[in-house]
Amino acid sequence: MAIAFGHTSQAQPIEVDVELALMVDASRSMSVGELQIQRRGYAAALTSDEVLGVILNSFTGRIAVTYVEWGGDGVNRVVLPWTLIDSKESAQEAADVLNGVIEWGLRRTSISGALLYAREEIENNNFEGLRKVIDISGDGPNNDGRPVVRTRDQIVENGIIINGLPLMTTDNTSPWGIIDLDIYYAICVIGGPGAFSIPVLTWEDFPLAVRRKLVLELAQAPGQSGFAGRSGMTDEGYDCMIGEKLRRERELLRSEP
């Protein structure tokens, strides 16, 4: 049975293979239908034979997972509190929560705020993972809160891996989007040993991309690297403040008479 934990102290944290914070973009550019695709995709992945096989055959045979929808700086909506998955039944209970009522999106896009929230959640839950992973998805660059590179680097220094799922869907018409979001995630967002990102080009690809991503994340041995996808790129010559600049430009245009 799935067990959801708050942040009450325990004498002994529960050891798991992975503490996995699923940070999912719910900014205003996301429609209710797209939020539903994301939740359904993660629910299906967590209950798939591939993902369950990795979990149950891991060192401890269990993981801890939380699912949080994020928007602007400090705006986070917990959909699935920290939950222990150690069986098909507990995975299904987590999936049932994700398949619940879908709420409207949130304003702005603060990748840095989502990362900081995830770090705090990882550091203050009742689990102790052999690995600590933040899995962040989004359809645009950071445009609110702290600069994302500085935030990313501090979190990686804390021993947390950040993987990315840039959403480059063809039906995305957000004025805040950029055409090279996969490069942005690779250079500015992901970090840590073996960090990787898997771009999603169409919503039809989302369920498979999520399942593949979870298998890679959960099967990775501590310190392992070399996954498929963009990783290990440098920020030389790339503007990781592009989202903030786009926001300022649009605000200036709106203020002009």
Q: What confidence tens digit (pLDDT) does each residue in 176-213 have?
A: 678 899 999 999 999 999 999 999 999 999 999 999 99
pLDDT at residue 118, as a whole number: 97
Structurally, the chain folds into a number of domains equal to 1
pLDDT at residue 11, as a whole number: 63
The b-or-e profile of 3-19 (16+ CB within 10 A means b, else e) is eebeeeeeeeebebbbb
Return d(Cα 28, Cα 54) in angstroms, integer: 34
Residue 92 has pLDDT above 60, yes or no: yes
Range 226-254 average pLDDT: 65
Average pLDDT of the chain is: 85
Residue 247 is given by DSSP the state H
Range 144-161 average pLDDT: 94
pLDDT at residue 7, as a whole number: 52
Amino acid in the structure at residue 51: V
Residue 75 has pLDDT above 90, yes or no: no
pLDDT at residue 257, as a whole number: 52
Least reliable range by pLDDT among 104-118, 141-155, 185-199: 104-118
Q: Where would I find the beta strands (DSSP E) of 5-104?
A: 14-25, 63-70, 76-85
Structure tokens belonging to residue 176: 């805040």
Least reliable range by pLDDT among 103-107, 165-169, 252-256: 252-256
- Which own/partner pairs from 208-213 qualify as long-range (CB within 8 Å, at least 24 positions apart)? 209/41, 209/165, 210/41, 210/42, 210/44, 210/45, 210/165, 211/41, 211/44, 211/45, 211/48, 211/50, 211/51, 213/135, 213/163, 213/165
Residue 126 has pLDDT above 60, yes or no: yes
**Residue 170 — pLDDT band, cuts 50, 70, 90?**
low
Return d(Cα 53, Cα 210) in angstroms, integer: 15
pLDDT at residue 236, as a whole number: 62
Strands 127-138 and 14-25: parallel
* Percent of the chain surpassing pLDDT 90: 62
Residue 247 has pLDDT above 90, yes or no: no
Residue 97 has pLDDT above 80, yes or no: yes
pLDDT at residue 134, as a whole number: 98
Residue 151 has pLDDT above 60, yes or no: yes
Q: Which domain holds residue 244?
A: 3-255
Structure tokens belonging to residue 213: 């991503």
Sheet order of strands, 63-70 included: 3-4, 76-85, 63-70, 14-25, 127-138, 161-166
**40-62: per-residue pLDDT in tens?**
999 999 999 999 999 999 999 99
| CATH number of the structural domain spanning residue 130 | 3.40.50.410
- List the one residue out of 94, 126, 123, 129 whose CA is nearest residue 16: 129
Residue 197 is given by DSSP the state B
More confident residue, 44 or 237: 44
pLDDT at residue 3, as a whole number: 47
Collapsed DSSP state (helix, strand, coil) of residue 22? strand
Q: Where would I find the beta strands (DSSP E) of 26-156?
A: 63-70, 76-85, 127-138
- List the one residue out of 212, 195, 202 whose CA is nearest residue 169: 202
Residue 254 is given by DSSP the state H
Residue 167 has pLDDT above 60, yes or no: yes
pLDDT at residue 250, as a whole number: 67
